[in-house]
Amino acid sequence: MLNFLPSDFSVLIEPESCIKCRRCVRECSFEALVFRDRVVPDHSRCVACHRCVAVCPSGAITVVRNRLAFRQNANWDEEIIKNVYKQARVGGKLLTGTGNDKPYPIYWDHLLIDAAQVTNPSIDPLREPMELRTYLGRKPSRLDFYHDAGGGFKLTTVLEPQIKLETPIIFAGMSYGAVSLNVHRALAAAARRAGTLMNSGEGGLHESLYSFGENVIVQVASGRFGINRAYLERAAAVEIKIGQGAKPGIGGHLPGEKVTGEISKTRMIPEGTDALSPAPHHDIYSIEDLRQLIYAIKEAVRYQKPVGVKISAVHNVAAISSGVVRAGADFVTIDGFRGGTGATPTIIRDHVGIPIEMALAAVDDRLRQEGIRHQASLIASGSIRSSADVLKAVALGADAVAIGTAALIALGCQMCQKCYTGRCAWGITTQRVDLTDRVDPEEGAERLYNLLRAWSLEIKEILGALGLNSIESLRGSRERLRAVGLTGTEMEILGVKPAGR
Amino acid sequence: MKAGGLREGDFRIPSGCAVAGIMNEDGKRFNGEKIVQAISIMRERSNGLGGGFSAYGIYPEFKDYYAFHVMFDHEEGRHGTETFLQESTVVVKSEAIPIRKQLSMTDAPLLWRYFLEVPKSRLNGLTEEDYVMRLVMHVNDSIEGAFVFSSGKNMGVFKGVGYPEDIGRFFRLEEYEGYLWTAHGRFPTNTPGWWGGAHPFSLLGWSVVHNGEISSYGINKRYLEMFGYRCTLMTDTEVIVYLLDLLMRKHNLPLDVACLVLAPPFWRDIDRMEENRREAVTALRMIYGSALLNGPFSVIIAHENEMIGLTDRIMLRPLVIARKEATLYMASEEAAIREVCPYPDRVWTPKGGVPVMARLNEAAAVR
Amino acid sequence: MALVKHDARGLSFRELNERLHRLVADGIDIIDLVNVNGHRYIGTGLAKPVRLNIYGTPGSDLGAFMDGPEIRVNGSGQDAIGNTMNSGAIIINGDAGNVLGLSMRGGKIFVRGNVGHRVGIHIKAFAEQVPRIIVGGVAGDFFGEYMAGGRMILLGLDRRAGQPVVGDYVGTGMHGGTIYIRGKVEEHQLGKEVGLVEMTEEDYAVLQEDLAEFTACFNLSLPEIMREPFAKLVPLSHRPYGQLYVY
C-alpha cells in the first residue's frame, strides 16, 4: 500500500546564495538536511525550528509551509487528516510538547486595563516610588502587637515562613531532564539576580545548583525523584506537584535514554532506567491524604519553609483549591490548560482542563467567600505571555505568576513543539551534549533577567498609569479591568464589568 | 434602601472635595458656626452636590445610647425601620431632626433620629457594637427607602445635597455644641443627587470626611467583604470607615498602627528601620496589603476621643494643620483655618502618609 | 548511650516530634516512646542514627523522609510507612497498612505481620543504596507497583488455609529491582510488565543473608523459612512504555 504523509514544511535553499559551508547540516538535530555536493533537504523531517536559518551565514535558507494543498475543509483540516494517517500506521498515542496550540479563547485578550484621568492622578514610575515586592506564604488574618510605654511596638504574632519576591514573576517548574542542566543554571542565576524564584520541576536539583537554594522552589512529585533531606532543606519552598495544566490527571515519564549520568545522579535513580511519574501520588488518594503529605514535608523541614501545592485548572478547581488551602498548603499554584510541557499526549494537551483566567477568578472568589484567601498565596500559570498578562492575573487575584514557555522562548525556543523528541536544536529540551552546549548558562541568565526586568518595568508603567504605587493595591482589584467581547456569564465568572460600564 | 432613580451604589462616582476639622483637646464644647465658616471659605472646592458635618459631644443627656440619624424617602420606609428598631432595640427616644428650610435645597428626605439601647439578651454572643453594625447594615441593605447615616454615641452626622454652608444652616448646627467637628464640601464628577451619598460617612463612633479617590478601591472592598462588610454605596469613603472599624475595633490595632496599614511606609524605608519596627511594619504590609489605601487622598477621621488627619503616601491631596492652644485645626486649605483662627500658634503641612492626631486630654475624655 | 523514656499521651504529633528533635539534638541516642497512638511523622526529618522504640500504634507517614534512625514498633503501623525514606530502618512487630515504603531509596523496612495494598510502590535504588522491604505475612494488591530498584521479599507466614500470599497486579509497571515471594504465585496475579524467572544460587545466597537479619529481629527460624521454594520476579523491560507513542 502506498504510505503517503505529506511533510508539514518545505526547506527552500537558494543555490546562488548557498556557500556550501554545511553549517546547517551540522546544526540540524532533526537530520532534515544532508550534503550531497549541495545541501539537500528532507522536508519530511523538518520541524520549522529555524536553526538552519539562524546559522546560515549567507541567508540562503527559508522554511515555508508545505504548499501542497488539501481541499479546504473546516472540519477535516490538514492536521486532523495527518494524525489519522500517523495513528493508522503505528497504533500509538500522539505525542507533543509545549502548550495547547488550538484556537480556544484567550481571555487575557478580552480584558482591558484601566488608567487614571483627572480625578486620580497617574504616577510617574521613573521618578516616584513604585513597589512590586511580594511575599508568598500563609498569612494570619490579623496581627497582634505588644506596645511599650514609649509608643514603640513589637509584633507578637508568630508568622509562618514567607518568601520575598522583588517582582511577582517566578519561573515555572521545568525538570532537569525535560530541560537541560544549562537551562536550569540559567534559570537559577536569573532568579537570584532578579530576587525571585525558579522551580526545580520534578527531576531533582543538580548538586551544583544547591547553592542557589534560596531562589529555588523544589518539587515533590509523584515520582519522588531526587528528594532527600538536603534537597528539601536547601530550598526556599517545597511544592507538591499534583498536576500540570498541559496534562491534568496524567503522569509522565522520562525515557531511559535521557537518564544520563548527571540526570541519574540528580534524580537519584540508575542510569538508563525510565523515570516514571505515576498519575497520582500513591500516598494521596484524598484531600486528607494531601494534608498528610503536606505535613510530612513540613515536619521534614521543621516548619521553616512554605509548602505549596500545584494543581492543574480543572472544572472543579475552586472547590479543590479551597480543600488544598484547608489541607495546609501555604501557596497554591494553578496551572491553566494552555500551560506548557516537555511531553504529553496531544489529545490530553488539547482537550483537558480549563483556562487559567477562569480558574484563577473562580479560586480567588471561592477563597474569599470562605474567608481563607489570606491562608495561601495564589500563583497563576499556564501561558503568561507578557507583562499585560501578569497584570491581568494579579488584578484577577494572583499573588504572583509563573512563566515557563516565555522563559524558554527567551532562551531561543522557536515553539516547534518537538521537546519530547530530545533533539531540541536550540539545546533547551535535550540532554545531547552537542546540543545542550548551544545554551550558554551565563548568556541565558542575562536574557532571562532582561525579560524579568523588562516586564517589571512595564508593570510599573501600567501601575503608574493606574495611579497605584504598589502592586498589592492592584492584587484582586478586578474593578480595574473591563471586558470586551465576552458573554455575561463569562464576565460574571471573571468578576469584571463590560467596557463602558 | 433603594427606590427609583440612580444613586450611589448603582455606580461609582469619583469626586474631589474640601475637608475641615476642629477639635478642642480639653473637651471644651463650641457650637457649629466655626466649622461652617471654615468649610464655606473653600466653596470653590465643592460644587453644591454634597456637604456635611460630624459633631462629637452633642448629645450629653443621651450619651449612653446609640444615636441613629436616619433618612427616609417616604413614610413607609420610616414605618418599616421603626418597626425593625423596636423589635431589635429599646427605642429611648425618637424625633424628627430639627431643620430650617433652605431655598437652595430641594428634595430633602424625611430626617429622623432615634436614641437606642441594646438589651444584653439580644446579643447572642455578638459584641454590642457588632450587633449595632448589623442593624445598620440591615436597614441600609434591606429596608426600602431608609438609610442610617449616623449610628454612634453622643455624636451625629448631618449631611445632604447642597453647599456645606447651606447644609449647616438647614440642620441648625449653631444650636449644637460639640468638642470635635469635621466638615466636607463635595465636588463629584457626576451625581444622582442623593442625600445619603454626601460625606461624612459614619459607622458607630467613626466618621470620615475624605478628599480623594482611592485607586485601590476594588481590592479594599473585596477585602472588607471577607470580614462581613458590605460596601453598598460604592464610595471610597465608606471603605475607609469600614477599614478603620475592622483594624481598630475588631483587630484591636491602635490608631498609629492602623494608619501604618492605610498609608504604609515604602519598602525602602521599612528596610532601613530598626529590627523590631522593621519586622512589625513588614508584617503589616504582608498581612494587610489589601487594606492599603492607594491613590490620592486626604482624610479627616473622627472618633469619640480623637481626630486624625492623614494623606496618601506621596501627598497627592492637600492637608494643612494648625494648633492654637488646646485646639487643633485641619483643612484642605490654610485659608479655612485662618478664617476661624487668624493667629494660630503653629501652622504646618504633614508628611505624606504620616498621621496627625488630636486626642482628648485624659481629664476631659468623655464617654 | 543516653537513653530517655517519653510519654506521648496527650501530645499532638507536632509537639511530640518537636520534643524528639530536641532530644536528638541534645545527644540522646535511644528514646522509648510510650503511649503512642496515631502520632504521625515520627522520625521524619531525623538525620542521626538514633534508635526509637515505639510502644503503641504510630500514625501514618512513620519515618517519612527519614535519614538514618532505627525505629522499632512494638505494635502495628499504619499507612505510608517509610515514605520517601533515604536510609535507616523501620522494624514493625505487628501489621502495617497501605503504601508502605513509597519511593524509598535506601534503608530497610521489616514487618513481621501482614501488609496492605501498594506496598513498596516505586521503590528505587541508587548507587550504593539498595532499599529492602521484607514482609513476614501476606500482602495485598499492587505489591511492588512501579518498582524501580531494590529488593522486596514476601514470606507469607502464618497464612490461613487457602489464603493467597499476595494479591493481584504484582509488580505492575515494574522496571527495576527484584521481588522474591515465598510459595506459589500464579501468572494471572502478575502485572504485565513483570516476569517469573528461575531462582539461582546467587538469589538463594541473597535471601539467606537478608532473611538471617529478618529472622533475628523477630525470633523466627531461618531454616524453616528457607525450606519452601521462592518465586523470583523481575521486570521484562527497563523501558516498559516505549511503544505507546506516535511522533
Could you tell me the pTM of the whole model? 0.90
Kindly determine whether residue B215 and residue A468, on different chains, have CB atoms separated by under 8 Å: yes
Strand partners for C70: C51, C89
A140 in Cβ contact with A107 (< 8 Å): no
Chain A from 338 to 397: CB within 8 A of any B CB: 368, 371, 373-374, 395
What phi and psi, each to the nearest 5 degrees, are found at residue C151?
A: -130, 140
B163 in Cβ contact with B43 (< 8 Å): yes
Q: Report the mean per-residue pLDDT for chain C.
A: 93
Q: How high is the pLDDT of residue A235?
A: 97
To the nearest 10°, report the CA torsion of B21, B23, B28, B34.
-20
Instruction: Output the CA–CA distances (angstroms, integers) from residue C213 to B71, B367, C210, in the order listed.
Output: 87, 80, 5
| CATH architecture of the domain covering A163-498 | Alpha-Beta Barrel (3.20)
Instruction: Kindly state the DSSP code that residue A215 receives in the 8-state scheme.
Output: G
C155 in Cβ contact with C135 (< 8 Å): yes
Strand partners for A179: A176
Q: How high is the pLDDT of residue B5?
A: 46
CATH class of the domain at C95-238: mainly beta
Q: How many helices (H) and strands (E) does chain B have?
A: 10, 18
Tell whether the model's pLDDT for residue B16 goes beyond 80: no
Q: How high is the pLDDT of residue A149?
A: 82
A46 in Cβ contact with A30 (< 8 Å): yes
Distance CA C61, CA A235 (A): 22
Kindly determine whether residue A300 and residue C176, on different chains, have CB atoms separated by under 8 Å: no
C-beta atoms surrounding A57 within 10 Å: 11
Q: How high is the pLDDT of residue A126?
A: 86
Q: How high is the pLDDT of residue C242?
A: 65
C109 in Cβ contact with C97 (< 8 Å): no
Q: Which of A334, A451, A321 is nearest to A383 (CA)?
A: A334
Q: Which chains touch C (3 or more CB pairs under 8 A)?
A: A
pLDDT tens per residue across span B325-361: 999 999 999 999 999 999 999 999 998 888 999 999 8
C-beta atoms surrounding B348 within 10 Å: 12
- Alpha helices (runs of H) in A6-63, residue ranges in sequence order: 23-27, 51-55
Instruction: Output the CA–CA distances (angstroms, integers) from residue A161 to A113, B50, B229, in the order listed.
Output: 33, 48, 29
Q: How high is the pLDDT of residue B365?
A: 58
Tell whether the model's pLDDT for residue A474 goes beyond 90: yes
pLDDT tens per residue across span A488-499: 999 999 999 999
Residue B233: partners with Cβ closer than 8 Å, 6 or more residues away: B8, B9, B196, B197, B201
A365 in Cβ contact with A441 (< 8 Å): no
C-beta atoms surrounding A44 within 10 Å: 12
Tell whether the model's pLDDT for residue B191 goes beyond 60: no
| Backbone dihedral region for residue B215 (phi beyond 0: left; psi -120 to 50: alpha; all else: beta) | alpha
Query: Can you tell me the mean pLDDT for A438-451?
Result: 98
Distance CA B103, CA A148 (A): 55
H or E, element range at C214: helix C201-218
CB-based contact, B333 to chain A, within 8 Å? no
Closest chain C residue to A87, measured at CA: C246
pLDDT band at A487 (very low <50, low <70, confident <90, very high): very high
C146 in Cβ contact with C99 (< 8 Å): no
Kindly determine whether residue B217 and residue A371, on different chains, have CB atoms separated by under 8 Å: no
Q: Where are the domains of chain A?
A: 9-79, 163-498
Domains identified in chain B and CATH numbers = 15-364 (3.60.20.10)
A212 in Cβ contact with A188 (< 8 Å): yes
pLDDT band at B17 (very low <50, low <70, confident <90, very high): confident
pLDDT tens per residue across span A228-245: 989 999 999 999 999 999
Q: How high is the pLDDT of residue B1?
A: 40
| Percentage of chain B lying above the pLDDT 70 cut | 91
Distance CA B121, CA B125 (A): 9
Q: How high is the pLDDT of residue B278?
A: 95
pLDDT band at B4 (very low <50, low <70, confident <90, very high): very low
Written as nine digits, the cell of B189 is 464628577
Q: How high is the pLDDT of residue B291?
A: 96
| CATH architecture of the domain covering A9-79 | 2-Layer Sandwich (3.30)
Distance CA B239, CA B233 (A): 9
Q: How high is the pLDDT of residue B86?
A: 96
Cβ-based contacts under 8 A for chains A and B:
126
Distance CA B91, CA C173 (A): 77
A156 in Cβ contact with A381 (< 8 Å): no
Nearest chain B Cα distance for residue A319, angstroms: 17
What phi and psi, each to the nearest 5 degrees, are found at residue C210?
A: -60, -45
Closest chain C residue to A288, measured at CA: C60
Instruction: Kindly state the DSSP code that residue A173 receives in the 8-state scheme.
Output: B
Distance CA B202, CA B155 (A): 10
A381 in Cβ contact with A400 (< 8 Å): no
Q: How high is the pLDDT of residue A96?
A: 94
Chain A from 253 to 312: CB within 8 A of any B CB: none
Cβ-based contacts under 8 A for chains A and C:
127
Give B61: exposed, middle or buried? Use CB within 10 Å, 0-12, 13-18, 19+.
exposed
CB-based contact, B219 to chain A, within 8 Å? yes
Which candidate from B253, B280, B292 shows the least CB-CB separation from A472? B292
Helix (H, G, I), strand (E, B) or coil at B22: strand
Written as nine digits, the cell of C213 is 537479619
Q: Which of B241, B185, B201, B183 is nearest to B15 (CA)?
A: B185
Pairing of strands A307-312, A331-335: parallel
Distance CA C93, CA C85 (A): 19
Query: Can you tell me the mean pLDDT for A306-323?
Result: 97
Nearest chain A Cα distance for residue B96, angstroms: 37
C32 in Cβ contact with C6 (< 8 Å): yes
Query: Can you tell me the mean pLDDT for C85-104?
Result: 96
Nearest chain C Cα distance for residue A7, angstroms: 13
Give the strand order in the sheet containing B146-150: B90-96, B110-117, B66-72, B146-150
Question: What value does the CA radius of gyration of chain C take, rounded to a whole number of Å?
Answer: 18
Instruction: Output the CA–CA distances (angstroms, integers) from residue B356 to A69, B296, B300, B314, in the order listed.
Output: 76, 17, 9, 15
pLDDT tens per residue across span A103-136: 999 999 999 999 988 878 888 888 889 999 999 9
Q: Which of C124, C128, C236 to mutate to test the interface with A (most CBs of A within 10 A)?
A: C124
Within 8 A of A92 by CB-CB distance, chain C residues are 243-246
Q: B324-341 in b/e burial notation, b at 16+ Cβ within 10 A?
A: bebbbbbbbbbebbbbbb
Q: Which of C78, C98, C103, C172 to mutate to test the interface with A (most CBs of A within 10 A)?
A: C103
Chain A from 25 to 64: CB within 8 A of any B CB: none
Distance CA A145, CA B116 (A): 34
Q: How high is the pLDDT of residue B6?
A: 47
More confident residue, B314 or B264: B264
Written as nine digits, the cell of C43 is 522520625
Q: Residue B78 half-sphere exposure, CB side, CA atoms within 13 Å?
A: 15
| Backbone dihedral region for residue A48 (phi beyond 0: left; psi -120 to 50: alpha; all else: beta) | left
ipTM: 0.88
Instruction: Output the CA–CA distances (angstroms, integers) from residue C132 to B355, C88, C176, in the order listed.
Output: 67, 11, 13
Q: Report the mean per-residue pLDDT for chain B.
A: 89
At position B219, the amino acid (one-letter code) is: I
Distance CA A380, CA A364 (A): 11
Written as nine digits, the cell of C56 is 503503641
Q: Where are the domains of chain C?
A: 1-76, 95-238
Respond yes or no: is residue B259 known to be catalytic. no
Return the minimum-mean-pLDDT range out of A254-263, A407-416, B345-354.
Answer: A254-263
Query: Can you tell me the mean pLDDT for A51-58?
Result: 97
| Percentage of chain A lying above the pLDDT 70 cut | 100
Residue ranges of E strands in A213-330? 216-220, 237-241, 252-254, 275-277, 307-312
Distance CA A410, CA B124 (A): 61
Closest chain A residue to C242, measured at CA: A255
At position B353, the amino acid (one-letter code) is: G
At position A204, the amino acid (one-letter code) is: G
At position A14, the amino acid (one-letter code) is: E
At position A245, the amino acid (one-letter code) is: G
Kindly determine whether residue C40 and residue A296, on different chains, have CB atoms separated by under 8 Å: yes
CA A481 to chain centre: 24
To the nearest 10°, report the CA torsion of B276, B282, B286, B287.
40
Do the chains B and A touch each other, judged by at least 3 C-beta pairs below 8 angstroms? yes
Distance CA C52, CA C56 (A): 12
Q: Report the mean per-residue pLDDT for chain A.
A: 95
Which candidate from A135, A145, A501 shows the least CB-CB separation from B280? A145
Residue B14: partners with Cβ closer than 8 Å, 6 or more residues away: A119, A120, B188, B189, B213
Query: Can you tell me the mean pLDDT for B225-232?
Result: 84
Cell 523496612, residue located? C109
A401 in Cβ contact with A392 (< 8 Å): no
Chain B from 255 to 284: CB within 8 A of any A CB: 256-257, 266-268, 276-277, 279-280, 283-284
Residue C26: partners with Cβ closer than 8 Å, 6 or more residues away: none
Q: Which of A320, A337, A454 is nearest to A390 (CA)?
A: A454
At position C36, the amino acid (one-letter code) is: V
